[in-house]
Structure 1
Amino acid sequence: MGTTELFLIALAVTLAVPYLIWRLGGTDQFAPLVVVQILTGVLLGPGLLGGVFPEAFQALFKPDVVQALNGVSWWAVILFVWLAGMELDLGKAWAHRVESGITAGLALGVPMVFGALAALVLLGLGDQWMGAAAQRWQFVVGVGMSCAVTALPILILLMEKLDILRQPMGQRILRYASLDDLAIWTVLAVILMDWERVGRQLLFLLAFGVATVLMRRLMRMLSRADRWMAGLVWLVLCAFGADWCGLHYMVGAFLAGVVMDAEWFEEAERDALRHHVLLVLMPIYFLSSGLRTRWGVEGGLVFAAAGLLLVASVSGKLLGVQAAGRLLRWGPGEASIIGWLLQTKALIMIIFANVLLDKQIISGETFTALLLMAVASTVLTMPMVASRLARIKALVLRAS
């Protein structure tokens, strides 16, 4: 078969298999469709499908097919990160800056320290965990931040399912996650700073600042119908500029979204676009991520590394939020609910880890361990939060 036929077969498998598992298995209470899609991407990767059926794997995922899938996945993740940037509401975070700053700082800082310590443990096991182009500090900070990430778009999805997104607690959690999301991408930009191309990067940031002022003026002048197309062109140009200077196109996509006001677009349209990107395009990104998993070290060691990172991530997030709750005198059980929601990792952490892998900061084995950790942390969220909410429903309605 030709490339087109193989590409379409890969698409059919990518769309159908996780949906059937999700629908027939009734996994929604602990693993939403997006989590099943991520797991399916891992199953179709070289470590599992490629290990059990190597001939079928090589026949289906030929280089031309993988290249075509990568092109679709690039566009998918650029759109997704752009929409995630738009979700940030820094105005509300500033209005509650003391509470938001304390909570976001502890919710990010403690798991980052725990994750950095886990990274040092991995380095003690051998150099196979660190990427070929990485300096030691880049690896440690990159893995540490991977353990601190909160997946803001998936957090929104989970809070919708729990019916707390529009409640006071849900809005508070969005403020904390928004500040952490901004810090995550800032740290990523620092990790990726290329001192050999620092002139290009400074030029990009200067041009981006000037262009942002002009773009915001233009967006206010345009009709709602025209803003979407203008926003998409702006997105592509920012992604190109960031990639050209060495910061990575996803950093540019996030910057393109964060400087846009969400109210320029109808909320229903933004929600619909995010839903459709998740439904139509992101499964291809999950497959592309799965194809990048590697099990070069002993398979059990990769799972052990994933377990270590999971413990560092979850315990760090819960302890950080518990500390914030004590300082701010939250009600009983409140910190536990917020902590479990903020430790949701899937998507944004996988995107973050993909960037580290692209830049050879981490190895394929570390990427695989991080991906498994992200899936496990997200699967834990719904059952842990739902049981706690059932006991203390009044907290949902508590004013901020």
Structure 2
Amino acid sequence: MSITEIYLLAMMMIFAVPYLVWRLLNSDNVAPLVVVQIVGGVLLGPGVLGAAYPGYHAFVFSPQVTLALNGIAWWAVMVFVWIAGVELDLRQAWRHRGESLVVAGMALVTPLLLGVGVALVLLGWQSDWIGPRAHTWQFVTGVGMGCAVTALPILVLFLEKLGVLRSTLGQRLLRYASFDDLAIWGVLALILLDWERIGRQGLFLCGFGIAAWLVRRVMVRLQEGDRWYASLTWLLACSFLSDWAGLHYMVGAFLAGVVLDAGWFDRARMDALREQVLFAFMPVFFLSTGLKTTWTVGAETVFVAAGLLMAASVAGKLLGVGLAGRMLGWPRGDARVIGWLLQTKGLIELIFANILLDKQIISNQMFTAMLLMAIGSTMLALPMVRNSHLVPARAPAAIPGGPLRE
């Protein structure tokens, strides 16, 4: 078979297998298609399919095919992260900064501290978890932030399924997640600081500030059709320069989106673009992520690490939001719903862990454990919220900063 034919066979597996499993199991209420696709990427990776059928796995996912798939995956995740940055409504979050900072801060710091504790325990257990180029502080901070991540795109998907996206509850959750997202990317940039490239990184950050100011002035003068092309060019330039500076191209992609206003683009068209990227391209990213999973330290060890991370992540979010709820006088039970919804990790956790792995902050084993933690915690969110009976399938709007019920 030619490389083209093998590539098409791999693409068919990437799209067909997770979809068939999702449809046959009817798992949408527990695991949406995007979660099944993430799981599918792990199953098609070397840890499962590669272990069961090594010859077939090496034939389908040869270096040439993997390189072609990675090209699609890079572009898909760049556009996806850029969209997440554009949709980050910091003005709305800042208008309600008092309440939002309390909730977002507690929802971030508590799982971060518990995650740091787990990272230190794992390092004391064995040294296979840390990447070859990482300092200890980078590793433990990266793992801790991995436990604190909230996936804004997956949160939007879950809020749509619950029918509360446009309600006051939904908008509150988006504000909390927006502050956390900004903090997470800021800490990630700090973790990635490379003292050998500190001159480049300083030049990039200073140049980015000037360039962002100029881009904003130009964008408001363009027609919307031209803004799309200009913004994608801006995305590519930021990603290239960010990677050149040693920060990672996905950091540049996020920054390229953050400085643009969502109001400059038609909402329906932006929603359609996000859905099409998620539908037509991101499954390739999930597969490329699965190809990085490994079990060389033993599957049992990796699952134990994933369980500890998941306990820190879930307990940290629920505890942090619970404390914030008490400080703000929320009715009993409301913090539990918000805590579980802020628990969703999914895509952003994959992106975050991929960056740490690419920069050799974490090992392949730690990457696998973080990926399993992201899958498990995300799959828990919807069932736990629905079982609370506080948010029915079509929930009423909530009082700003107050109870979830009418």
Range of TM-score over shorter length: over 0.9
Residue 32 (structure 2) aligns with: 32
Greater mean alpha carbon deviation, residues 210-219 or residues 244-253? 210-219
User: What is the DSSP-based 3-state SS (H/G/I as helix, E as strand, rest coil) of the residue aligned with 1:27?
Assistant: coil
The corresponding residue for 1:67 is 67
Q: Percent identity?
A: 59
- 1:225-258 per-residue CA deviation (whole Å, 9 max, x = no partner) reads 1111111000000000100000000000000000
Q: What TM-score, normalized to structure 1?
A: 0.98
- CA offset digits 1:332-356 (Å, max 9, x no partner): 2110110000010111011000000
Q: Which residue of 2 aligns with 1:134?
A: 134
Q: Is the 8 A contact 2:162 2:391 kept in 1?
A: no
Q: Show the counterpart of 1:93.
A: 93
SS of structure 2 residue aligned to 1:47: coil
Cα-to-partner distance string for 1:92-150 (whole Å, 9 max, x where unaligned):
11111110000000000000000000101110111100000010010000000000000
Distance apart, 1:276 and its partner CA:
0.4
Q: Output one character per residue of 1:312-342: Cα deviation in whole Å (capped at 9) or x when no partner.
A: 0000000000000000001221101100000
The whole-number CA distance in structure 1 between the counterparts of 2:133 and 2:56 is 33
Structure 2 CA distance for partners of 1:394 and 1:76, relative to 1, 3 Å: closer
Matched residue, 1:51 = 51
Q: Does 1:192 align with 2:192?
A: yes
Q: What does residue range 213-232 of structure 1 map to in structure 2 within 5 Å?
A: 213-232=213-232
1:137 & 1:16 partners in 2: Cα distance? 41
Tell me whether 1:152 sits opposite 2:152 in the alignment: yes
Letter in 1 for 2:356: L
Aligned counterparts of 1:327 and 1:298: Cα–Cα separation in 2: 44
Q: What is the alpha-carbon distance in structure 1 between the residues aligned to residue 390 and residue 74 of structure 2? A: 40
In 1, the alpha carbon distance for the partners of 2:393 and 2:322 equals 19
Distance 1:301 1:68 in 2: 32
> Residue in 1 aligned with 2:309?
309
Equivalent in the alignment of 2:121: 121
Shift of 1:24: 1.9
Please say if residues 169 and 395 of structure 1, whose CA atoms lie closer than 8 Å, have aligned partners that are also in contact: no
Per the alignment, residue 202 of structure 1 pairs with 202
Question: What are the Cα deviations for residues 39-96 of structure 1, in whole angstroms up to 9, with x where unaligned?
Answer: 0000000010000001100111110111111110000000000001111111111111
CA distance in structure 2 between the partners assigned to 1:397 and 1:212 by the alignment: 36
Q: Identify the residue that residue 3 of structure 1 maps to in structure 2.
A: 3
**2:291 maps to amino acid:** L
Separation in structure 1 between the aligned mates of residue 138 and residue 313 of structure 2, nearest angstrom? 18
Bigger CA drift: 170-179 or 89-98? Answer: 89-98
The answer to whether structure 1 residue 178 and structure 2 residue 164 are counterparts is no
- Contact 1:110–1:317 under 8 Å retained in 2: yes
* Residues 155-208 of structure 1: CA deviation (Å, up to 9, x unaligned): 000100000110001000000000000000000000000111111011111111
Once residues 206 and 391 of structure 1 are traced to their aligned partners in structure 2, the CA distance between those partners, rounded to angstroms, is 45
Amino acid at match of 1:275: E
1:290 aligns with 2:290: yes
AA of the residue aligned to 1:205: L
> Hey, what does 1:112 align to over in structure 2?
112
Cα 1:309–1:329 change in 2 (3 A) is same
Partner residue, 1:251: 251
Is residue 281 of structure 1 aligned with residue 281 of structure 2?
Answer: yes
- The structure-2 alpha-carbon separation of the partners of 1:136 and 1:396, relative to structure 1 and needing over 3 Å to count, comes to farther
CA distance in 2, matches of 1:393, 1:330: 22
How far residue 395 of structure 1 moved from its aligned partner, in angstroms, is 7.6
* Aligned residue in 2 for 1:385: 385
Q: CA deviation at 1:391?
A: 6.6
Give the distance between the partners of 2:392 and 2:265, measured in 1 at CA: 36
User: Is the CA contact (8 Å cut-off) linking 1:130 and 1:139 kept in structure 2?
Assistant: yes
Consecutive unaligned residues in structure 2, runs of 5 or more: 401-406
SS in 1 for 2:102: helix
Give the equivalent residue in structure 2 for 1:16: 16
Moved over 3 A (4+): 389-396
Deviation at 1:388, TM superposition (A): 1.8
CA-CA distance at 1:398 after TM superposition? 2.0
8 Å CA contact 2:132–2:361 kept in 1: the answer is yes
State the distance in 2 between where 1:119 and 1:12 align: 38
Residue 236 of structure 1 corresponds to 236
Distance across 1 between alignment mates of 2:69 and 2:392: 45
The 3 A distance-change label for structure 1 pair 265 and 394 is closer
Alpha-carbon separation, structure 2, partners of 1:74 and 1:256? 16
Residue identity opposite 2:26 in structure 1: G
Please give the alpha-carbon distance, in whole angstroms, between the structure 2 residues aligned to 1:189 and 1:2: 42
Provide the aligned C-alpha RMSD in A: 1.2
Query: Offset at 1:392?
Result: 7.3
Q: Report the CA distance between 1:274 and its aligned residue.
A: 0.5
Amino acid at match of 2:67: Q
Kindly provide the amino acid, as one letter, of the partner of residue 40 in structure 2: T
Cα 1:207–1:249, aligned 2, differ >3 Å: closer, same or farther?
Answer: same
| 1:367 corresponds to | 367
Alignment partner, residue 322 of structure 1: 322
Secondary structure in structure 1 of the residue aligned to 2:293: coil
User: 5+ unaligned residues in a row in structure 1: which ranges?
Assistant: none
- Give the whole-Å Cα distance in 2 for the aligned partners of 1:47 and 1:312: 25
